[in-house]
Structure 1
Amino acid sequence: MVAVQPTPTGFARATPTLATGGDIGAGLSKICIGSSNQQMKLKLPSKVVEVREELHDALEAKDGGFFHYVSGDREDLIGRDFLVGSLAAWKAPTSHITLSDDPKLKAEYSLHILLGSLATLPFRPEWNLHLVLSTHNREVFQEAVTAKTQGSHVINSGVTQLN
């Protein structure tokens, strides 16, 4: 998975690949990016909600994020806005999607959780992630999780655009 902000002409891009592990859990998702003293560990509730109206609040939370999917390999998400983690529960306390409601939801919303978790981190113009996701049932979910998460994804999250 690669995340990029548009680069001005003549500006060279050399973003190292970051080892990234993720456990998109039914109740709590855990994501670890990088290694050694540069390692970032994230935990957020496994909750998602699509935002269908304009948000007027400044949304910041260490365990929740907002993103607008601009373009990428998930064409079904183009032009849509999402809140994940605690922000999803805040915005839609009774109607957000909780991944523990159905095991199939973890495959469908793994990318949402990953992109929303990146939105909780300090600005970075590009994320180049070598992603390894765990699943409790490899035979059932490996193909679906891989298909839903791999590739290039351009998002806006506040001032950040990720590809």
Structure 2
Amino acid sequence: MHAVRNIRLCTKDCLCLFVCPTGATDTETGQIDASKCLDGCRLCVDACPSHAIFLIPKNYTPQQKKSEKTKQALKELAKSKAEQERLALDIAKETTDPTERQLARALARSLRILSEDLHRESGFMLPQDEATRAFLQEQLQKNSNSDDFPKEAVLRLLQLL
């Protein structure tokens, strides 16, 4: 396990800088150097007041096989969570009550995380999934002659996969 930061949640309180024993955190770029991060240390996770830092596994287990019907149900559920997130954000914009605004924003964040998890479970763009490799190869074939297409980056990603 190593720590990662969700830069959208980071309030740059910088407590992570003070508790990290290896100096793996960098608040300027928002990155946490996984090579310096101690396996499962979690000091920065526990210190972060904005809950922007969390642990992820260094290696993911293979995704469980799912039927097409199950994948479709997960995608539909993710779509409904995305719509609910939009509604919560609309409430946050329209309300004048600070407590309601804070609650609506928290609900929107929770729904975003749930939607992302559902997309991952349905096989959408998991790094280790064959769909990711196929997508990158398709983009490479379609856009390799384009000047603004990051061909080297896509080739590197394919190599890493």
Asked if TM exceeds 0.5, the reply is no
Q: Normalised by the size of structure 2, how large is the TM-score?
A: 0.23
More RCO (CA 8 Å, sep 6+): 1
Structure with the bigger percentage of strand: 1
Scaled by the length of structure 1, the TM-score of the pair is 0.22
**More helix as a share of residues:** 2
